[in-house]
Structure 1
Amino acid sequence: MRFSTHYMYQHNIDSITKSMATGNTIQAHLAAGQTLLTPSDNPAGASQAVALQNTLASMSQYDTARSYAEDTLGQEDNTLSSIQSILTGSLSEKIIAGGNGAYSDQDRQSLATELKGIRGSLRELGNSCDSNGRYIFAGYKTGNAPFADDGSYVGGDTPLTQQVSDNVEMQVGHTGQQLFMSGTSDDLLSAIDKAIDALNKPITSEDERQALKDTLDSVNNSVKKNIDHIGKIQSEVGCNLQQLDSLSFSSDAQKINVTARLQQAIGSDSDTQISQSKIAAFALTSSMTVFQAMQQISIFNFK
């Protein structure tokens, strides 16, 4: 079979062009550190890579959600500790002191003023905000202070929740109703108000003194219930923080596995890519050599 001069010339030009294109493609892969740059390089691998990238994106979103939840719960825990410190320290001590028979009306009024300051501190803690300026104990009404000046709760009825993994939705806060047992017979701020009112009244008889003692005993009982109640809330917060740590640990391990599979899917074997680059360079050199040799043959010499 005889080949025309034009065919042989064009065939070698095509060979050189193909070798150059192959070399350029390999160099692009080598520069990117992967063998899969376009779906046409490996359709099956590309499909798997997209699925794995979506998985990593979803995991990243849950990482952000857990970070938010951890920040919110951490700040709630700090606030609860401050409240407990007040309840177990100065508040209980002063309520008990209010029943001291040696106290004068003026002594009790001074004590009432101190209790008013403590109540104000508790209300401020109940109106604490997170690092983003959202009220911690307002439920889903995070834009408004949950406790009014009179101590009434005006926040949301539903505590905040956060999806922190594929199958875990976690409560990341408590409402003010839960915090101070608002709306119940042991409403903390209301109980303190009762103590303040009772201490501000002059005592002129034993019956009035007994009424004061009964009121203070009732208030002290409510304080104790609130101490236990807030302790339970802190326990819930602690359990949730531990669960977040566990989920983050599992996520980190899973990300390592998914990332390894993604690298395998897109191809990140630099040794293989370098070998392919050398082969492509050799092919190009060979094509150029053949072309140059053909130009020396008489049938290509048109002079």
Structure 2
Amino acid sequence: MSTIPQLTLNNGVTMPALGFGVFQTPPEETRAAVDAALQTGYRHIDTAAAYGNERQVGEAVAASGLDRGAVFLETKIWISDYGSDETLHGYTKSATKLGVEQIDLLILHQALPSEFGRTREAYRALERLYADGKVRAIGVSNFMVEHLTALLDKATVVPAVNQIEVHPYFTQPEVQAFGAEHGIATQAWSPIGGITFYRDGEHTSTLQDPVIGDIAQQHGKSPAQVMLRWHLQQGRSAIPKSTNPQRIAENFAVFDFDLTDDELAAIDGLDTGRRGGPEPADITLATFGRPIPEA
């Protein structure tokens, strides 16, 4: 089995840099996908309350025969559960579905800038959970520099992780730099650019990009493998997703080659500055709020 590089978070907790994501994976397919990932060698699973598949993630981990401490579990509190008591209960719902007493990394799923007071209360709840030992690390997701600045103004625990959209067509250098300055690790969702982009007058994808394709050919690897290697060599965590066992295994086979500085720079140069996912400011309770079930 390949050795997964570990990232040491700002509180000393170590996290496998390469994780396995289950965003948009139907619950009925999640257990098999996570089982395949664990058999392949992944030891970091990323889910979220809003994904509706935490229970199946927990079932797969429990059925794997691996010790609890061998698998790093990460999940997210949805905006509908922001607020002090609401977030504490959100943790209970997630931990119960995952079937664990302690979550390795618990993060806020969105900044919710339209109601940032609720976001601050939610983060205070994470700080309490961290102090009580119910989570090993806490963090945020989709926070821009202004949101991180406002949070740090009141926070007593610096987020360990900021999970944001990062891939060759959208690198968010300012957010990454701010995180590095404050000891906040960047974790990439959509790390291989699964979103289709409009580039140079045509719809395209990072998987068909000629620059990435040429680099992949030079190394005898796939474009997806090259992009994951790019993340790892630049110190990010990446959480690719798939339900295809062959693709799951391919995405894991990224520890036996290195990209040159020129190749890393060439991939950096593909940044369009255009986001593929939703704007953080567009996430509001009115448009995206929905109750997270108890079970």
Q: Is the TM value for this pair above 0.5?
A: no
The TM-score range, normalised by the shorter chain, is under 0.3
TM-score (norm 2): 0.24
Greater relative contact order structure (CA < 8 Å, 6+ sep): 1
Larger helix share, 1 or 2: 1
